[in-house]
Structure 1
Amino acid sequence: MMFGKVLKRNEEQAVASWVNYLNQVRLDRLIEGLNNQNINFSDAINILDSTMAKINETIIERNRGGLKGMHGFIAEVAEYGVENAREQILGKMPIYKWVNDNGPADLIRDGVEIQQKFVNSGNHLSLQAIKQHYGDYPWFLDGVRKYQIPSDHYEKIKYLLSITEKQANKMPTSDGEFSLKQWKEVHEFFDSEKIKFSDIEPSKLSYKDVQRDQIQETIELEKYSINETDKSIRKDLYDKSKPTLKQGAQVAVASAVIEGGMTFATGIVKKRKSGKNIKEFTTDDWIEISKDSGLGTLKGGVRGITIYALSNYTATPAAVASSLCTASFGIANEANRYRKGEITQEEFLLNAEILCVDVTVSALSSVIGQAFIPVPILGVVIGNTVGTFVYEIAKDNLTKKEQQLIKQYLEELQEYDKNLDKKLEAHIIKLQEELRVYYSLLEKAFSPDYSIALEGSIQLAVSLGVSEKELLNNEQETDAYFN
């Protein structure tokens, strides 16, 4: 009887441990995903910062291209930086390379050479600039190469190609947005040139976005967009880590199969021990086994979904949830016996009390076993087996005083476990706060603004225990140190 009881408890706690494992896998994936996203976000922002710094240092400060051509060089660097940042925030590798050699290609994207044309003069939508480049390099479109123009130019060309001359003639021209002349120029370009519309692609930026007095705002807006993308990714990671109805149903079905199968096997073993061979089982024997198996299957399904719900939607450990389920079934059975007059009121109360202690020992033993043997299900089963055997032996053979000592010891373990949880939570909160401060200092220490970086480096060094006597606090001390 003791062995059968232990086997039953093991089955119950094994289901609980499996549910706990599923929950832990989701949480581990969430934490891993958030940690990776921290890196992706930091790298994406760093790419945008370095892009703006490169635009300032290599183009604006050097007046590269002059007032009329500067925006073209800015567009090349901005395209390269913005696209790489958008890939990085998604956890992908950068795809753009800035060629910067005044050759036939300005950018390379995943091996595809791109010539970028941001020209607004004459309102030719950058097409005349493409025509001139193609005349200089007639082989440019042999193979996989592309021309890239501002996104607003591309959309306007696309629209003009989609309407008839009659429609174009009816378009209002007072605001200079459209004209029949421009419609004709676009159509003649693609009718007469070897360049197809498919050879041209839109930049991620408009003509206005890359102007000298606008690029800083463009990069800042891109940072905002990156931040919004980051929030969306984190929300998606969190949503995926939530318990689902589908997984809950899978747990219920699996638990039902396990408990129903175990009840079926136990029923056959019980009949065999009574002296009957399987071939001697009567119809009534099989009906009894099937009835018990069906009830076991039902209980298993209820247990599975209950454990899943309690462990995910309340602060209830899976082992405790399983024990609560077992206690509920047991007390309901005892209540039914009491209603039928099979047991007295005193017996009902005593049986219910013993049942609650039984499942408490099972839950506590499973938790301790899992702690000492951190292997999913195995630790729970071993812990439950040892704990239940010890408890049964104590209950049957030890004095009331000894039983009280064991009970007191179990209560102390539970209290100790609660205290450890509180201390762990306090340490985690403290660690999170220290990490927040550390990342803040780290961000300042690597700021592109050297004055902020100097101040951040000093604060970071102090936070890491560097003596103030060894710090370089200003430019004079820095110059003196390196001289």
Structure 2
Amino acid sequence: MTNEKDNLAKSNQEQAVAAWVNHLNQIRLDTLLSSLRRQDTNLRDALRSIDEAVRTINLEVVFTNRGGVKGMHGFIAEVAEVGVGNARSQVQGQGAVYQWINNNSPVDLVREGLGIQQKFVASGGRLGLGAISEHLSKYPDFLADGGKYQIPLDHYEAIRALNDLPAEEAGKFLTRSGDGPSLKDWQRVRDFFADGSVSIDALEPSTLEYHQVQREVYESTLGAERNSLHSTDRSLRDEAYQQSRPSLRQAGTATATAAAAEGGAALVLALAAKRREGKKFKDFSEQDWIDVASATGLGAVQGSVRGVSLYALSNFTATPAAVASSIVTAGFGIAEQAHLLRVGKINELEFIQNTELISLEASVSALSSVLGQILVPVPVLGAVIGNTVGTVMYRAVSTSLSEREAALVERYAQEQRELDAQLASEQQELLEALESTLTDYIDLLERAFSPDVEIALAGSVELAVELGVDSEDVLDSQEKVSAYFLD
């Protein structure tokens, strides 16, 4: 009875570890599915922002010819910045960040509370710096109130490069005319920031370049942004998948936890066994502690094997953790029976019977744990309850055989043993008879094929008779030989 309780406790501990590993796997998969569902929403919102930007530009800017030929691209840039900026934030799951202030106020856009004035101006060759000066003279408190100027990305990069270029290098590498930035451009940028009313930090780049917001190309610009959003979405989904994959770190955690749990269970059971012998802890001998330590160490090793096997089987094959744990348990049990067979403590029939019983008990444990987890959907607890109930029921049924049924089983086993002995005896008799027949047959062959003609003739006759040839057809006399070859 005590041994059954120990086995049940150990089985519960094993299935608890399996349920915990399964719970870890489920959390990882649930997190992946949740991330993918959120990403569906993120992509949908981002694409909607692009569509709304295209629709607003078409209806409120292009259709109404707002800003005219020279100023239309400025309004296109404002709406496009809102659409692209919001979409890039939304696809990352961060929500919309831009708002378009469509009322000719000092602020064109608001980004998370920051007022922005956009200047997409190329006339005069000043990269929009002249337009910034005009706006600042009209609204001198714009920067002091926390505002910011936003200019095309390509303009910002050119201004930044010129502002950072030392005078000696400017004189050496820049020309007074020709393609690209000139020495005059460099001087213009330096003069703009010289009085300190506007710093380079008061400027920021747009997400778009000047040429991308012209009337003829804004649709293709926003169409390319849609493709970019899809690419970003795929990258985010792949990142979520990579994060959800089984990892060596989590496998190590599962292995260490299983080793600690199984080693701890082995320690408790070993101490309990010593206490049942009537020994108190203070009376333990050195050998007692060696026995306890040995059992604990073996349990920890088995737990390590169980942990890494559970993690591998439940993640890299379609094997539930409860079933994986039972496979490992059965493997340990069968390995022990194989050792007993090798050292001669059990015979082959006992080995087969014991391994069948071990496999059956492991299957009952796995099935009970799975059903328990379904009926009691509480991580670990459901598996332990299911395993306890299923194991107790199985052992109650397995020990309820009547004496008659037990006698039938024993009689069947005895009949099998007697049959084995009888068949072994008959096999030996057949082997001896076969050996004798083969000896006579080989002797006949030697005489039939002897170099001595007379011996060969006599041997051939004997061989023919032995093989069942009719005596009338055997050439065993001079008359029969003459009649066969001459008549």
Q: Residue 230 of structure 1 aligns with which residue?
A: 233
Residue 357, structure 1, aligned to residue 360, structure 2: yes
Q: Which runs of 5+ in 2 are unaligned?
A: 407-487
Residue 149, structure 1, aligned to residue 151, structure 2: yes
CA contact (8 A) 1:165 1:180 kept: no
* Residues 333-352 of structure 1 aligned to structure 2 (within 5 Å): 333-352=336-355
Alignment counterpart, residue 243 of structure 2, candidates 240, 243, 259: 240
Alignment counterpart, residue 62 of structure 2, candidates 49, 60, 63: 60
Instruction: Give the TM-score taking structure 1 as reference length.
Output: 0.81
Q: Residue 224 of structure 2 aligns with which residue?
A: 221
* Residues 102-141 of structure 1 aligned to structure 2 (within 5 Å): 102-141=104-143
Which has the larger displacement, 393-402 or 154-163? 393-402
Alignment counterpart, residue 41 of structure 1, candidates 40, 43, 48: 43
Return the letter of the residue paired with 1:263: A
SS in 2 for 1:249: helix
Shift in Å, 1:165 = 3.6
Q: Residue 273 of structure 1 aligns with which residue?
A: 276
Residue 315, structure 1, aligned to residue 318, structure 2: yes
Return the letter of the residue paired with 1:358: E
Shift in Å, 1:29 = 0.9
Cα separation, partners in 2 of 1:360 and 1:402, compared to 1, 3 Å: farther
Mapped partners of 1:203, 1:113: distance in 2: 14
CA contact (8 A) 1:2 1:389 kept: no
Mapped partners of 1:269, 1:223: distance in 2: 68
SS in 2 for 1:397: coil
Mapped partners of 2:405, 2:190: distance in 1: 99
RMSD: 1.7
Return the letter of the residue paired with 2:68: G
Mapped partners of 1:171, 1:123: distance in 2: 16
User: Residues 419-444 of structure 1: CA distance to partner in whole angstroms, max 9, x if unpaired?
Assistant: xxxxxxxxxxxxxxxxxxxxxxxxxx
User: Residues 153-177 of structure 1: CA distance to partner in whole angstroms, max 9, x if unpaired?
Assistant: 0000111112234433433677532
Q: Residue 384 of structure 2 aligns with which residue?
A: 381
Percentage of pairs with the same residue? 47
Residue 394, structure 1, aligned to residue 384, structure 2: no
Shift in Å, 1:143 = 2.8
Q: Residue 295 of structure 1 aligns with which residue?
A: 298
Residue 328, structure 1, aligned to residue 331, structure 2: yes
Q: Residue 76 of structure 1 aligns with which residue?
A: 78
CA contact (8 A) 2:175 2:183 kept: no
| Structure index of larger Rg | 2
Residue 284, structure 1, aligned to residue 287, structure 2: yes
Shift in Å, 1:135 = 1.2
Shift in Å, 1:343 = 1.3
User: Residues 118-176 of structure 1: CA distance to partner in whole angstroms, max 9, x if unpaired?
Assistant: 00012110001101111111111113110111000000011111223443343367753
Shift in Å, 1:20 = 0.6
Aligned residues: 403
Q: Residue 482 of structure 2 aligns with which residue?
A: none
Which has the larger displacement, 239-248 or 337-346? 337-346
User: Residues 381-439 of structure 1: CA distance to partner in whole angstroms, max 9, x if unpaired?
Assistant: 11111111111122222369999xxxxxxxxxxxxxxxxxxxxxxxxxxxxxxxxxxxx
SS in 2 for 1:303: helix
Return the letter of the residue paired with 2:230: N
Instruction: Give the TM-score taking structure 2 as reference length.
Output: 0.80
CA contact (8 A) 1:118 1:149 kept: yes
CA contact (8 A) 2:176 2:184 kept: no
Cα separation, partners in 2 of 1:82 and 1:402, compared to 1, 3 Å: farther
Mapped partners of 1:288, 1:337: distance in 2: 20
Return the letter of the residue paired with 2:392: F
Alignment counterpart, residue 92 of structure 2, candidates 68, 90, 93: 90
Mapped partners of 2:233, 2:204: distance in 1: 27
Q: Residue 179 of structure 2 aligns with which residue?
A: 176
